[in-house]
Chains A and B, each alone.
Chain A
Amino acid sequence: MITLSHLSKSFGDHRAVSDLSVTLKPGEVLGLIGQNGAGKTTTFRMILNFIEADKGTISWDNQPIDAHKRRLIGFLPEERGLYQKQTIEEQVVYLAQLHGMEKSAAKATLKDWMDRLQVVGNPGDLVQTLSKGNAQKIQMIMALIFDPDFVILDEPFSGLDPVNAGIFMDEIKRLKDRGAMIIFSSHNMDNVNQISDQLLMLKKGKTVLQGPVQAIRESFGRTRLYLETDEFNQADLAAMAGVTSVTKQDGGFLLKLTNEEAGHAIFDKVTANGYIPAFSQQPPTLAEIFKTEVSTND
Chain B
Amino acid sequence: MTNPTLLVAKHTYLTRLKKKSFWWMVFSPIILIAAAALLGYGIAHFSSQQEAKIAVVGPSSSRQILANAADQLDLKISNISDDQAAKTALKANKIDGILTLDSNQGTLVTQPKAPKIDKDKLQAVLGKIALITRAKDYGLDNQQAQTLLSPFALKTEVQNQKSQANADNVEAAKSIIAVAVTIIVLVIVSTYASLIGNEIANEKSSRIMETLLAASSAQAQYFGKLLGVTALLASQLVAYVVLGAAANLFGKKIEVINQGLSYLSALTPAFILYTLIFVIVATALYLVLAAIAASLVNDISQVSQAMVPVTTLAMMPYIVGLASASNGGNNLLVRIFAYIPFMSQSTMPSLLANQYANWWQAILSLLISVLALLALGWFGQKLYAKNVLSYSDENVLKQLMRSFKRN
Contact = CB atoms under 8 A, between A and B. Distances in A.
Interface string A73-115: 1010101111110100000001101111000000000000000
Q: Main SS of the interface on chain B? A: helix
B7 A98 contact: yes
Given A94-B7, A98-B4, A98-B7, A79 B210 contact: yes
A97 B7 contact: yes
A82 B207 CA distance: 7
B207 A79 contact: yes
A139 interface: yes
A77 B2 contact: no
B206 A84 contact: yes
A32 to B, nearest CB: 17
A81 B207 contact: yes
Contact of A81 (B15, B208, B216, B217): B208
B130 interface: no
Contacts of B147: none
B217 A75 contact: no
A272 interface: no
A71 interface: yes
A263 to B, nearest CB: 48
A80 B207 contact: yes
Given A48-B213, A50-B213, A94-B7, 5 more contacts: A70-B217, A71-B215, A97-B7, A98-B8, A98-B220
A45 B15 CA distance: 28
**Number of contact residues on B: which range applies?**
20 to 34
A50 B2 CA distance: 21
Contact of A73 (B7, B206, B214): B214
Contacts of B209: 81
A142 B211 contact: yes
A81 B299 CA distance: 13
A270 B1 CA distance: 72
Nearest to A84: B206
Interface of A: 45, 48-51, 67, 70-71, 73, 75, 77, 79-84, 86, 94-95, 97-100, 139, 142-143
A75 B208 CA distance: 12
A220 B395 CA distance: 50
B30 interface: no
B194 to A, nearest CB: 18
A79 B1 CA distance: 29
**Considering the complex of A and B, which 9 residue pairs feature the smallest CB-CB distances, nearest first?**
A81-B207, A81-B208, A98-B215, A75-B214, A77-B210, A79-B207, A81-B206, A98-B216, A99-B215
Q: Kindly name the residue among A49, A73, A81, A86 whose own CB sees the greatest number of chain B CB atoms within 10 A.
A: A81
B207 to A, nearest CB: 3
Contact of A50 (B1, B203, B389): B389
Contacts of B4: 71, 98
Q: Which of B4, B11, B206, B215 has the most CB of A within 10 A?
A: B215
B187 interface: no
Contacts of B39: none
A84 B208 CA distance: 10
Nearest to B209: A81
A51 B7 CA distance: 23
B212 interface: yes
Interface in B1-27: 1-2, 4, 7-8, 11, 15
Contacts of B216: 71, 98
Q: Could you tell me the dominant secondary structure of chain A's interface residues?
A: loop
A94 B1 CA distance: 11
Interface in B124-166: none
Contacts of B217: 49, 67, 70
A77 B211 contact: yes
Contacts of A99: 215
A45 B388 CA distance: 13
A221 to B, nearest CB: 41
Contacts of B11: 94
Contact of B208 (A49, A73, A83, A143): A83
Interface string B378-400: 00000000000100000000000
A98 B212 contact: yes
Which of A51, A75, A86, A97 has most B Cβ within 10 Å?
A97
Contact of A82 (B15, B208, B220, B389): B208
A143 B208 CA distance: 12
Given A97-B7, A100-B2, A50 B210 contact: yes
Given A71-B4, A98-B7, A77 B206 contact: no
Contacts of B218: 50
B340 to A, nearest CB: 35
Contacts of A95: 211-212, 215
Contacts of A84: 206
Contacts of B389: 45, 50-51
A70 B217 CA distance: 9
Interface string B183-209: 000000000000000000001001111
A42 to B, nearest CB: 11
Nearest to A45: B389
A297 to B, nearest CB: 32
A268 to B, nearest CB: 57
29 contacts: A48-B213, A50-B210, A50-B213, A50-B218, A67-B217, A70-B217, A71-B215, A75-B210, A75-B214, A75-B215, A77-B211, A79-B207, A80-B207, A81-B206, A81-B208, A81-B209, A81-B211, A82-B206, A86-B15, A94-B7, A94-B11, A95-B211, A95-B215, A97-B1, A98-B8, A98-B215, A139-B211, A142-B211, A143-B211
Contacts of A143: 211
Nearest to B224: A98
Contacts of A67: 217
Contact of A77 (B1, B8, B214, B220): B214
A98 B15 CA distance: 16
